[in-house]
């Protein structure tokens, strides 16, 4: 998780924020004991085909804002290019209401989805065809 956090801190992809309505349904990330992914946030961008995912460490208790503060890590946002096994760092969210930033599709694609997003990334790519498609900014 520290590796992911460092990568997100170095990111410049989240300069401006565009939000879209979403519910929150946090599920355990496959194969990881403290990492969770937001099932309701996962979607495929209809323009680029990238899969959007957000993960966080902590103890989920409903929406992110209600998680115990002492155990709550930031939400890490990613766009996944499943076919190429690459990901784009979309930044961090400390409140649970950040969406994707302007120009997010043009971010640097980095190798190895599993190293950054873990089991949630693998799951997102495996279920890509059944995820909702969205027209994102």
- Is the model's pLDDT at 19 over the cut of 80? no
What per-residue confidence (pLDDT) applies to 22? 57
pTM above 0.85?
no
Q: How far apart are CA 39 and CA 122, in angstroms?
A: 13
Domains (range + CATH), the chain:
2-18+29-134 (2.40.128)
- Is the model's pLDDT at 14 over the cut of 50? no
Are residues 73 and 56 in contact, defined by beta-carbon separation less than 8 angstroms?
Answer: yes
Q: How far apart are CA 132 and CA 40, in angstroms?
A: 9
SS3 letters across the chain: CHHHHHHHHCCCCCCCCECCCCCCCEEECCCCCCEEEECCCCEEECCCCCEEEEEEECCCCCCHHHCCHHHCCCEEEEEEEHHHCEEEEEEEECCCCCCECCCHHHCCEEECHHHHHHHHHHHHHHCHHHCCEECCC
Q: How far apart are CA 70 and CA 58, in angstroms?
A: 9
In which band, very low, low, confident or very high, does the pLDDT at 5 lie, cut at 50, 70 and 90? very low
Write out the two tokens for 12.
Answer: 């410049």
Q: Which among 88, 109, 91, 86 has a CA at the least distance from the CA of 101?
A: 91
Write out the two tokens for 130.
Answer: 């059944």
Percent of the chain with pLDDT over 90: 66
The mean-pLDDT minimum among 79-88, 90-99, 118-127 falls in 90-99
In which band, very low, low, confident or very high, does the pLDDT at 4 lie, cut at 50, 70 and 90? low
- Is the model's pLDDT at 134 over the cut of 80? yes
């Amino acid at each position: 998780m520290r590796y992911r956090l460092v990568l997100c801190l170095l990111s410049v992809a989240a300069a401006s924020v565009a939000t879209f309505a979403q519910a929150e349904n946090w599920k355990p990330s496959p194969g990881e004991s403290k990492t969770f992914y937001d099932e309701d946030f996962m979607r495929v961008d209809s323009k680029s085909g990238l899969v959007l995912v957000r993960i966080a460490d902590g103890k989920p208790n409903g929406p992110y804002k209600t998680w115990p503060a002492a155990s709550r890590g930031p939400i890490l946002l990613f766009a996944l290019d499943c076919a190429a096994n690459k990901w784009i760092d979309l930044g961090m969210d400390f409140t649970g209401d950040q969406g994707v930033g302007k120009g997010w599709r043009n971010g640097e694609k980095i190798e190895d989805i599993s190293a950054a997003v873990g089991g949630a990334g693998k799951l997102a790519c495996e279920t890509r065809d059944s995820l909702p498609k969205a027209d994102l900014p």
